[in-house]
Amino acid sequence: MPTALQVQNPQLGGRERILVAATELFAQSGYHATSIRDIARAVGVTVGAIYAHFASKSEILLTAYAQGVERVIKAVDDATATADEPWERLEAACRAHLDLLLYAGGLAQVVVRVQPDDVPDAAADLVALRDRYEKRFRAIVSELDLAPHIDRRLFRLTLMGALNWSKTWYRPGGTDTATIARQIVETLRHGATTPQAAP
């Protein structure tokens, strides 16, 4: 008696199906508001079945989080692989970041929505994962030709904030991610008062 979800993803193993559902729920509602029951219901199994695959709720979160980070890293790496010019690389990275953050069923939203403090058990690991990802952006930012008075760290954090905050206001059907990424980078590069540069 396969459930809807099983039919939907017939090829996925039990562990994967749990992870998919959990990732989405954690991204939508946060860690505390998502119960193991919720996850079990979404997958179509008993609560006990969850524990055949994961030792604890925090382990599920950690696994989902790690997977999310890994995929964003890969997406950013892929996106930047084809560009040479530093600002182009940055824009490509932002576009990839937004795509995963806003579209793909919570894949990366977990990373933004769940705060390490929410999961004491896994806090240290979560921070480490988050750092791994930030290193990517640190590298990209380090190649930019910023004016000397600009604090590169603060520049990067400003960018990350601008990007991640989009989860708060973005609605499908509105401005697309490519456009969002372009304007954010464009503004941070030349400022909002400078007339548009020739393409």
Q: Which of residues 3-32 bind DNA (CB under 7 A)?
A: 13-15
Min. distance of Cβ 43 from a copy of itself in angstroms?
19
Give the whole-angstrom CA distance, residue 27 versus residue 57.
14
Q: Residues 46, 115, 179, 183: which binds DNA (CB under 7 A)?
A: 46
Q: By CB under 8 A, is residue 41 in contact with a copy of itself?
A: no
Site size for DNA, by CB under 7 A? Answer: 21
CA torsion 38-11-114-135 (nearest 10°) is 170
| Rg of the Cα atoms in the chain | 19
Q: Residues 23, 58, 63, 67: which binds DNA (CB under 7 A)?
A: 58
What's the distance, CA 98 to chain centroid?
8
Site string for a copy of itself, 65-104 (x = CB under 8 A): ----------------------------------------
Q: Residues 21, 22, 27, 45: which binds DNA (CB under 7 A)?
A: 45
Closest to 97 in 3D by CA, of 2, 187, 185: 185
Per the CB < 8 A criterion, the answer to whether 60 and 39 are in contact is: yes
> 173 φ, ψ to 5°?
100, -20
Per the CB < 8 A criterion, the answer to whether 61 and 31 are in contact is: yes
Q: By CB under 7 A, is residue 53 in contact with DNA?
A: yes
Query: Which residues are at the interface with a copy of itself (CB under 8 A)?
Result: 28-30, 32-33, 115, 117-118, 144-151, 154-155, 157-166, 168-169, 175, 180, 183-184, 187-196
For DNA, the binding residues (CB under 7 A) are 13-15, 34-38, 45-53, 55-58
